């Protein structure tokens, strides 16, 4: 039982490049989330998926897209990376009835 896994762990992009961050969970959770973490700002929600087949915007969705590929996988795509997207990205999943979130180890992204 690996919990929530994320790939890659680190990534450096040039401005304008695109990339996809991958997330998978093996806990059979319905809900999945993407957050970004910046110094002194806690975690801010980018997008979430309450269940397979649905996605919704969070607090800071601009510049990102997501895909809920199946119940296990939820990917985050940056179409044209900007320096403001330099951050640590966390994926999380949740048992809907208990509202307890489980986080992955994070992806540290630098955009130059």
Partner 1 sequence: GENVEQHPSTLSVQEGDSAVIKCTYSDSASNYFPWYKQELGKGPQLIIDIRSNVGEKKDQRIAVTLNKTAKHFSLHITETQPEDSAVYFCAASRKTSYDKVIFGPGTSLSVIP
Q: Toward partner 1, which CB reaches closer, 72 or 108? A: 108
Q: Toward partner 1, which CB reaches closer, 83 or 96? A: 96
Q: Is the dihedral of CA 79, 86, 32, 58 positive or negative?
A: negative
> How many chain residues touch partner 1 (CB under 8 A)?
24
**Binding to partner 1, residues 41-100 (CB under 8 A):** 41-45, 48, 50, 56, 58, 90, 92, 94, 96, 99-100
Q: Tell me how far, at minimum, the Cβ of 28 lies from partner 1, in Å.
A: 17
Contact 32, 48 (CB under 8 A): yes
Q: Tell me how far, at minimum, the Cβ of 57 lies from partner 1, in Å.
A: 8
Tokens representing 39? Answer: 């110094």
Distance CA 42, CA 25 (A): 23
**Looking up tokens 């319905």, which residue turns up?**
30
**Looking up tokens 């985050």, which residue turns up?**
76
Give contact residues for partner 1 (rule: CB under 8 A).
Answer: 4, 31, 40-45, 48, 50, 56, 58, 90, 92, 94, 96, 99-106
């Amino acid at each position: 039982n690996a919990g929530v896994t994320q790939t890659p762990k680190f990534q450096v992009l040039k401005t304008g490049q695109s990339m996809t961050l991958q997330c998978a969970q093996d806990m059979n959770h319905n809900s999945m989330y993407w957050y970004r973490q910046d110094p002194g700002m806690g975690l801010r929600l980018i997008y979430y998926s309450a269940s397979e087949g649905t996605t919704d915007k969070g607090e800071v969705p601009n510049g990102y897209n997501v895909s809920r590929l199946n119940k296990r996988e939820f990917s985050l795509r940056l179409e044209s990376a900007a320096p403001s997207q330099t951050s640590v990205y966390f994926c999380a999943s949740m048992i809907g009835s208990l509202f307890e979130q489980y986080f992955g180890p994070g992806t540290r992204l630098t955009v130059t």
